[in-house]
Amino acid sequence: MLTLAEKILFVLATLASLYFTYKGVMRIVGDIASGQGEVNWSLIWKRIGELIVKVGLFQPVFRFRLGPSILHALIGWGFLSFLLINLSDLIYAFTEFRLLDNTGRFGEVYRLIADIANVAIVAGIVAMIIRRFILRPATLSTRETTLLNPKARTGIMRDSAIVAAFIFLHNSMRFLGESFNLAVAGHVDEWQPSISAMSQLWAGVDANILVAGEHIAFWLSIGAVVAFLPYFPYSKHIHLFFAPINFALKPERKSIGELSYINLDDQSIEQFGAAKMQDLGWEQILDSYACIMCFRCQEVCPAYNTGKLLSPAALEINKRYHFNGGGTTDIVMLDLISEEAVWACTSCGACVDICPVGNEPMRDILDIRRNLSMMESAFPKQLETALKGMERNMNPWNVSQGDRMKWAEGMNVPTIEQNAEPEILWWVGCAPATDSRAQKTAQAFAKILNTAGVNYAVLGKNEACTGDSARRAGREDIFFGLASQNVEILNEVAPKRIVTTCPHCLHTIKNEYPAFGGNYQVIHHTQLINELVGAGKISMNLEGDNMKITFHDPCYLGRHNKVTDAPRDTLKFAGVEAVEMPRNGAKSFCCGAGGAQMWKEEEEGSARVNEARFAEAKSTGADTVAVGCPFCLTMMTDAAKGDGDSMQVKDVAEIVAERLK
């Protein structure tokens, strides 16, 4: 189709485009390689099946914003199919050989796919243009108070406009050019119904004009690709390549909240946490290139939703715009996110869970906290009491270890000294052991265990805080001491199974203690209650008032450890009427206590996180909020009192214990 002169021009233009694209890509590779850690390439083969599902079906995208996700899929699937279509068009342009016309049934089916894909892409991109530039939802931007690179304020919109124009031009011109070709041939292709319909409009048009039109359409379609390639490494749409890499090579985690191990016995370590971007892991730098800048993480962030300065999206975007501006990894992290925003994070993991490309902004924030706390001693002063309590008395309430079993006075709760080989080791946790309100949960669960005749024991005075709050506050030194001590005790006891009434304890023992040599089977108390009901060891009195309950999923149970059914099944066994909050399960909204927030005042905002969550619970019309975490119990109880509402807040164990036969 192309003349000799056009072929030479196209080849030269393509070579120039590829050269500048290569320069851009190598810049990115250099940025990512400057991060800490080594790449485990073998993970690709281990995750190949999961990778095909995530990339091929855009499965992570569909978890949020269904309408835009469908439009995104139309464009994405269309482009995947266009890889072969564009190759076929290039072969035809240089050789006059039409690949898809000469491969039998495969070619016919693929021409149909091409026809459908062409229409889908154009329709999808037009709808996206209307949404982005006319409807302009607030969820596609951030507040003026958010620390966001000034260039990003206009740059994201400009980037979207460039990409949208490229996609529309490439696909509409390909559609038009193919219709010209059919018109010149003078026949209808039943495998290209839409293009054939378009070709009928050119009946009677001079063939020379149609051939010229086909040439122009080729240059505008394929030429748009050639022109766009050098810009691609600077566009947010480079996520097309880096999202799959993120899914394939991201270091293995037992949970989205598992933090990296730091061996404090190693005296050679001089740097803790991330002071500069070069202190981040290579995968954390890659996150900035995988980022779509869709602001989904911001939309689910409890801090941002209650008017705080934190935006996990802004952090990733700032990293990216810093690189695009020629910056290096020696930039100070607090130039990319404010210190106030760092301490507003509840470590709820919502940003990590919802990200369609596998980014982990929470991890960056907690690494910054490590640096501030360990290297600068710069942490909120309100945390000092809890941190000193964990150092001196091995619990953040600063209660003497000698009082650790006071909650069980008058109850038959065996310690490990009294029952050396229990089937279940109950890790009571600091809150149920020391906090007056949470003690009721412990007493209720003990009643359930005793009623069921479970062979269990507790560590009693030998149990210490797991160190969760210290670690999320950046104090790895305190966490290291507590974790080392607890693992030593647990390994000596060698428990068959551990049950906890606190998801934070569950998460830490199950997911973070293995790095210290402690590998245990850990379950939540609602899971054990389910087992007891299923085994017929407990039964409940289902007569009387039918309570209407809404269950609040604790972040460290539902999102971090994927336990969402057990609490609901337990409530079902108890015979209550359950109603769901709009945000539930893995998408649950935080209570506001995680990430060491339990021990400090919230940063300034438009509302408190626990109040926002309680309002959501109240909107269901339930008379009781059920929880499965002592932190959630405290936060929701405080919110109910502050609201002056009569709505009760109870742990699932309390509800079951009240209904035991």
Residue 91 falls within a domain, yes or no? yes
Residue 58 falls within a domain, yes or no? yes
Q: Are residues 74 and 193 in the same domain?
A: yes
d(CA 144, CA 362): 22
d(CA 565, CA 519): 24
Q: Are residues 198 and 334 in the same domain?
A: no
Q: Are residues 371 and 386 in the same domain?
A: no
CB atoms within 10 A of CB 584: 18
Chain position carrying tokens 């009427």: 577
- Rounded alpha-carbon distances, angstroms, from residue 29 to 206, 297, 578: 51, 25, 51
Q: Are residues 199 and 338 in the same domain?
A: no
Q: Are residues 491 and 400 in the same domain?
A: yes
Distance spanning both ends of the chain, measured CA to CA? 85
pLDDT reported for residue 544 = 65
Residue-number span of the structural domain to which 311 is assigned:
255-376
d(CA 306, CA 288): 25
SS3 4: helix
Q: Are residues 172 and 25 in the same domain?
A: yes
What would the DSSP string read from start to end of 297-344? HHHH-HHHHTT-S--HHHHHHHHHHHHHTT--TTSBGGGTS-HHHHTT
Residue 145 falls within a domain, yes or no? no
Residue 83 falls within a domain, yes or no? yes
User: Phi-psi region for residue 644, left (φ > 0), alpha (ψ -120 to 50) or beta?
Assistant: left
Q: Are residues 515 and 557 in the same domain?
A: no
Q: Are residues 339 and 389 in the same domain?
A: no
Q: What share of the chain is helix, strand, coil (3-state, %, to 5)?
A: 60, 5, 35
Domain count, the chain: 4
Q: Are residues 627 and 506 in the same domain?
A: no
CA 286, 281, 285 angle in degrees (round to 5)?
25
Q: How confident is the chain (661 residues) per 10-residue block, as mean pLDDT?
A: 92 97 96 95 94 91 93 90 90 89 87 92 95 94 96 95 96 94 88 94 91 93 95 93 95 94 91 96 97 97 98 98 94 97 98 97 98 96 96 92 93 96 97 93 97 97 96 97 98 97 98 97 98 94 82 98 97 93 97 97 96 97 97 96 90 96 85
What CATH number does the domain containing 310 carry? 1.10.1060.10
Residue 386, H or E segment? helix 384-392
Cα dihedral across residues 352, 355, 356, 360: positive or negative: negative
Residue 36 falls within a domain, yes or no? no
pLDDT reported for residue 243 = 95
Select from 533, 557, 581 the last residue of a domain.
533
DSSP summary character for residue 550: E
* Contact residues for 621 (Cβ-Cβ < 8 A; gap 6+): 548, 579
What would the DSSP string read from start to end of 488-512? HHHHHH--S-EEES-HHHHHIIIII
Residue 500 falls within a domain, yes or no? yes
Q: Which of 485, 484, 513 is nearest to 498 (CA)?
A: 513
- Dump pLDDT digits (tens) for 160-219: 999 999 999 999 999 999 999 999 988 888 999 999 999 999 988 999 999 999 999 999
Select from 311, 341, 376 the last residue of a domain.
376
Q: What count of Cα atoms within 13 Å lies in the side-chain half-sphere of residue 160?
A: 21
Q: Are residues 416 and 527 in the same domain?
A: yes
Q: Helices 361-375 and 476-493 sit at what angle, rounded to 10 degrees?
A: 100
Residue 362 falls within a domain, yes or no? yes
Residue 142 falls within a domain, yes or no? no
What CATH number does the domain containing 519 carry? 3.40.50
Long-range CB contact pairs, 68-71, < 8 A, 24+: 68/128, 68/131, 71/124, 71/127, 71/128, 71/131
Tell me the sheet residues that pair with 457. Answer: 425
What would the DSSP string read from start to end of 146-215? S---HHHHHHHHHHHHHHHHHHHHHHHHHHHHHHHHHHHHT---TT-HHHHHHHGGGTTS-HHHHHHHHH
DSSP summary character for residue 108: H
Tell me the sheet residues that pair with 648. Answer: 624
Q: Are residues 155 and 237 in the same domain?
A: yes
Select from 533, 567, 587 the last residue of a domain.
533
Q: Are residues 237 and 268 in the same domain?
A: no
pLDDT reported for residue 41 = 95
